[in-house]
Structure 1
Amino acid sequence: MKIELIDVPFDGFGRDGHQARAASALRDAGLVDALAPHTVQDGDALNLPTFETGRGPQTGLLNEPALLAMVEQLNERVVAAVSDGVFPVVVGGDCALLLGVVTALRDAVERPGLLFLDGHEDTTPLDVVEDGEAANCEIGLLLGVTGRLLTGPLAERLPALEVSGLTMLGQRDDQRRRRFNVGSVSGLGVWSRPLDQMRHDPVAAARAATAYLRANTDRWWLHVDLDVLDPEVFGAQGLPDYPDEPDGLDLAQLTAVTTEAIGGGGCAGLSVAIYDPDQDPDGSDAAATVELVRETIRAHR
């Protein structure tokens, strides 16, 4: 298999470092070696403008210039890779990277799919995103259930995903969604197994999710938001201090899910997001993330 490793030096809050430094920290922890024995096509990191902490006029979201540039560049890179039979591995940043990845998959195949591993559903409407972070609303934008206030190039790319093309595993954000009066996407017909429904048998949940995707899509993307993990076992997950969102999968459970899923066939690419090296002074979470990628890629077929 030929792999293209794509670094995303993006932080959704426009901060210096944090998720923007994730890809370089993971490389230092051995990420390239973890992709062996596959051939790694190691391109340049995305070239993003200087980060901004304010909200932008086209999206109402933070760090808008870098967000829009990230979406455009990821779209181009992923379309080219998938069309050439190359497997993209996208690391760094946050879940907003899916706005580039999924629109690219939609441009490359007729029926795109997404297996979304995350502690949150990420469907907060733009007008109630309190902190302005795009990673709180990208699934809603991709499905078209929010985003009517968007203008500019991002609005032109959306929506990009059908309800039948999405599976979700590991969410535990019921209290947060209730605070903003946001219903679950399961009410729209999205295939979903929240944490309390899948943790007792994560392998069976992954198998069911990928079987659904193989039946309903041409190719699908595997996305891992590391806040699907329990912050007690993985602290460097962006913002792990939500008081109403404790718990989560452990590393063995997450690895069992990703390896079962990617081993089922049909996966077009992988993304791993939300790792924050500024919260990982001894590098142990970087090493754990690299090992997760290693085991996941090893199971690909």
Structure 2
Amino acid sequence: MVAVEQIGVPFDGYGRRGHQAAAADALHETGLKAALSAFQVVEQDAMVLPTGSPERGPQTSLLNETALLAMTDELGRRVTAAVTAGRFPLVYGADCTTLLGTIPALRDVEPVGVLFVDGHEDAMPLDVSEDGEAANTEIGLLLGLTGHLMRGSLSERLPALDPEELAMLGQRDVEWRRRFNVGSLRDNGVWMRDWKEVAVAPEDSARSAVKHLKQRSRRWWLHVDLDVLDPEEFASQGLPDAADEPKGLAWDQLTRTLTAAVACGGCIGWSLAIYDPDQDPARSDGHRILRLITDVMTALPHHSV
């Protein structure tokens, strides 16, 4: 039986109370334990972070810097401890900045690839970012494409990912990037299938992505930003200007993609981000997320971890 370590992350990239910072607790209350009933589950003490701030910080120029740095430090410790103990970390809540905690920390344990399933490429240069939201920049930071003027503990752990160790699925942000004159990572050699390509062939796209990752790394990390979904399918993603972007994936397409990917073996852990329970008072989206978690986790082969 796969041993799963639950790691809830109470962080909101804008420094707001609630919103993504409340996602982990909301999923607990909605029935996360039942969704994982087929597994041996390890729960740690709740993560406690500094009070959020909507201001940019002096070390990174990113919003909510103090909580961001505390979160990445603590999450990195928890994930590496779980992996070293042979458990499968399930990181849930918060936003894509969780990767700034997991990937640099895992790199100190073993080289891992990253399967990045997201509606955006998240490689916005810091000097182009309008608001300093870290969740628009984390892939660029991990690759070392931006953040050269950052200082402090986070900058010392970056870059932490080679382009060949990354596979991207589901991106739909062409028009948004064009507004800022930011090119695509695909043009720079990063393996990618956009949302239209994934929608046509979910399983084939997933298997091809994992095959690419395994050329460099035996094991890999799965990261899913739920804004890869069509906002009409998943309204509580809190995606700015979602109406101005192409539609994105349906739940069935996302489920087929992720289950095919993890069935290939080698998945070392999973982070699931961008759920805003403040936009989901009836918790209908929360229940749908739990169905996704059950479907994906049960597709894990026992030898994955």
**d(CA) in 1 for partners of 2:291 and 2:241?**
24
3-state SS of 1:145 partner: coil
Alpha-carbon distance between aligned partners in 2 of 1:288 and 1:248, rounded to the nearest angstrom: 17
* Counterpart check, 1:133 vs 2:133: yes
Name the residue aligned to 1:258: 258
Q: Residue 24 of structure 2 corresponds to which residue in structure 1? A: 23
* Normalised TM-score (structure 1): 0.98
Structure 2 gaps of 5+ residues are: none
Return the letter of the residue paired with 2:66.
Answer: P
Once the two structures are superposed, residues 92-145 of structure 1 have per-residue CA deviations (whole angstroms, 9 ceiling, x without a partner) of 000011000111221111x21100000000000011111211000000000001
Match in the other structure for 1:152: 152
Give the residue type in structure 1 aligned to 2:9. V
Correspondences of 1:1-301 after superposition (within 5 Å)? 1-109=2-110, 111-239=111-239, 241-301=241-301
TM-score under structure 2 length normalisation: 0.96
SS of corresponding position for 2:260 = helix
Q: Aligned partner of 1:28: which letter?
A: E
| Greater displacement, 251-260 / 31-40 | 31-40
Give the 3-state SS of the residue equivalent to 2:94 in structure 1.
coil
Paired letter, 1:17: G
- Farther off after superposition, 23-32 or 267-276: 23-32
CA distance in 1, matches of 2:15, 2:117: 24
CA distance in 1, matches of 2:98, 2:46: 13
The 3-state SS of whatever aligns with 2:242 is coil
Give CA-to-partner distance per residue, 1:211-246, whole Å, 9 cap, x none. Answer: 111222121101110000000010000225434213
Tell whether the 8 Å contact from 2:255 to 2:296 is kept in structure 1 after alignment. yes
RMSD of Structure 2 on Structure 1 (CA): 1.0
**Shift of residue 34, structure 1, vs aligned partner:** 1.1
Give the counterpart letter for 2:220 in structure 1.
W
User: How many Å apart are 1:76 and its aligned residue?
Assistant: 0.6
SS in 2 for 1:182: coil
Identity of aligned residues (%): 57
How big is each residue's C-alpha offset from its partner over 1:21-52, in whole Å with a ceiling of 9 and x where there is no partner? 00111111111221122111101222210111
CA distance in 2, matches of 1:51, 1:232: 30
Q: Which moved more, 1:60-69 or 1:198-207?
A: 198-207
Aligned pairs, number: 300
